Homo-oligomer: A and B are copies of this chain.
Amino acid sequence: MGTTLAPPPLNPPERLLMGPGPSNPDPRVLEAMTKNPVGHLDPYFVDLMDETMGALRNVYRTTNHHTIPISGTGSAGLETILVNLLEAGDSAVVGVNGYFGNRLAELARRTGADVRVIEAAPGEIADPAEYEKLLADRPAKLVAFVHVETTTGACQPIAPIVESAKRHGALVMADCVTSLAGIPLDIDALGLDAAGSCTQKGLGAPAGLGPITVGPRAMEAVANRKTKPATWYFDLSLLFQYWGGDGATKKRAFHHTAPIQSIYGIHEALRLVLEEGLDARWARHQAAHEQLVTGLEGMGLAMFTPAANQCATINVVGVPDGVDELRVRNRLLSMGVEMGGGLGVLAGKVWRVGTMGYNAQPARVEKFLGALDEAIVEERKVFESYEGRR
């Protein structure tokens, strides 16, 4: 009886993952995830937790003690920050210029906080003066925004927002899901109080952890909450009883069972980033982005995101006339290459191409460009023959 209930064996196809993420993990990271499993309170693992925190601090360029991978995906890390920093009665200002800004606002609203949004059109960035105006009008406990809006490709400059927030006594956090380890980011120099990212983009690991950093001003706000967070799993105070509250002791109190093999993975991914060096890694991403844009424009395509707002990790390009966008993506996928479609108001209008982590390499970008060119040429034939028959 048993056998007939079992699903067939895994047999995933080989893919070049050039969508908005997941990108292909570095093979060294996948290999690391198969290393000898140990217990979550094993002295070896406790040391590894400290190493992982240290490496993550170096990648975030911060001295924040409270820097850990949350045991969930990137979204879980962002939720962790918001549910700990906000509670009912608090006020927040959230920048929204796409799907992920809206999501940040929704995460904030779920805490019961009063949320005011600053909107910008797709592809555009928010005017820092708008933050200044809103905060001058009425203070907020927290300002939150998306560094790189993955649905539009727009990169929001961080410094002016932090400046406004600090001037008005607000904490400030950034969604760095599509920026960490891909484009310049320096938490301490920028003065960000908290940031969250993912593992499956610039870091070059599989999805599954939400690396966050939380600074001392933010942890003070956590300590001064009137109520416990509505979540136990993401409660920072409890999490740091396991990850080491003060960084001075090896004593660890059980919270949840850490995903050991995933921590092995991010440890190896962080090691790869720091071996390469952040400056070199950012330059590699920038070169891959430029190679891609040059290639796309050479094929007659036009970038959707204004040049001034573009960034090296995610490239949003207009769908050309004369093809069915979904058919092009499906043909590309049948060639073993994935790219992303548009989300929300951009559905059907744009493609999204990631040049991130392990995939930010000349040969991989070249392979992508060649495949896309072929897919478009073939689909144009289909489209023309269809138009001809009308």
Interface residues of A (CB under 8 A from B): 1-3, 5-15, 17, 19, 21-22, 24-25, 30-40, 42-45, 48, 51-52, 54-55, 58, 71-76, 79, 83, 103, 106-107, 110-112, 198, 200, 206-208, 228-234, 254-262, 264, 267-268, 270-271, 274-278, 280, 333, 338, 343
Contacts and interface: CB of A to CB of B under 8 A. Distances in A.
Contacts of A35: 10-12
**10 tightest CB-CB pairs across the interface, nearest first?**
A2-B277, A230-B230, A208-B259, A6-B274, A7-B51, A75-B256, A206-B261, A12-B36, A5-B58, A72-B72
Of A198, A200, A264, chain B has the most CB atoms within 10 Å of the CB of: A200
Contacts of A338: 38-39, 42
Contacts of A52: 7
7 contacts: A22-B40, A30-B261, A38-B338, A42-B338, A73-B257, A110-B231, A207-B259
B103 A44 contact: no
Nearest to A80: B233
B6 A275 contact: yes
Contacts of A38: 12-13, 15, 17, 338
B19 A264 contact: no
Counted per complex, copies of this chain come to 2
A38 B23 CA distance: 9
B257 A2 contact: no
A270 B58 CA distance: 38
Contacts of A274: 2-3, 5-7
A229 B382 CA distance: 47
A233 B75 CA distance: 7
Of A2, A6, A200, A275, chain B has the most CB atoms within 10 Å of the CB of: A6
